[in-house]
């Protein structure tokens, strides 16, 4: 039985992927395994709907980011005004330097 298997050559078709087992001594096909079946083609209507949903999601994310940036700008303006108001009442002093003489 081991001799018989040694004479058999397994070949894969480069075009379709089918497997053929060929007896090298007889030069005949012993067995044939059909190529794997491909899944059905994608539904283009379904893909179109997915693309529309993705487009709407991206648009919503962009609008939210735009809104967040506008709020961020207003927030920074308010923080700056508050800090300016606090420092306006403080006296101006010279900054001191800490020098280590060690």
Q: Could you give the CA distance from residue 87 to residue 90 in angstroms, rounded to a whole number?
A: 5
Q: Would you say residue 91 lies in a domain?
A: no
Q: Could you give the CA distance from residue 49 to residue 1 in angstroms, rounded to a whole number?
A: 57
pTM of the shown model: 0.38
Q: Would you say residue 70 lies in a domain?
A: yes
| Helix, strand counts (H, E) of the chain | 2, 3
For the beta sheet containing 8-12, the strands, ordered from the edge strand earlier in sequence to the opposite edge, are 8-12, 19-23, 28-33
Count how many domains the chain has.
2
Q: Could you give the CA distance from residue 73 to residue 15 in angstroms, rounded to a whole number?
A: 61
Q: Would you say residue 95 lies in a domain?
A: no
**42-79 pLDDT tens trace:** 778 788 899 999 999 999 999 999 988 888 888 888 99
Q: Would you say residue 38 lies in a domain?
A: no
Mean pLDDT, range 4-10, rounded to an integer: 74
pLDDT score for 53: 94
Domain span holding position 16: 2-33
Q: Could you give the CA distance from residue 28 to residue 22 in angstroms, rounded to a whole number?
A: 6
Q: Would you say residue 77 lies in a domain?
A: yes
Q: Would you say residue 94 lies in a domain?
A: no
Q: Is the pLDDT score of 101 beyond 70? A: no
């Amino acid at each position: 039985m081991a001799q018989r298997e040694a004479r058999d050559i397994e070949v894969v078709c480069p075009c379709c992927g089918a497997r053929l087992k060929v007896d090298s001594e007889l030069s005949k096909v012993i067995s044939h395994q059909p190529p794997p079946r491909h899944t059905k083609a994608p539904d283009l209507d379904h893909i179109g709907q997915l693309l529309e949903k993705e487009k709407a999601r991206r648009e919503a994310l962009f609008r939210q980011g735009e809104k967040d940036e506008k709020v961020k700008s207003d927030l920074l303006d308010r923080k700056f005004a508050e800090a300016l108001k606090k420092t306006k009442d403080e006296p101006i002093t010279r900054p001191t330097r800490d020098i280590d003489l060690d």
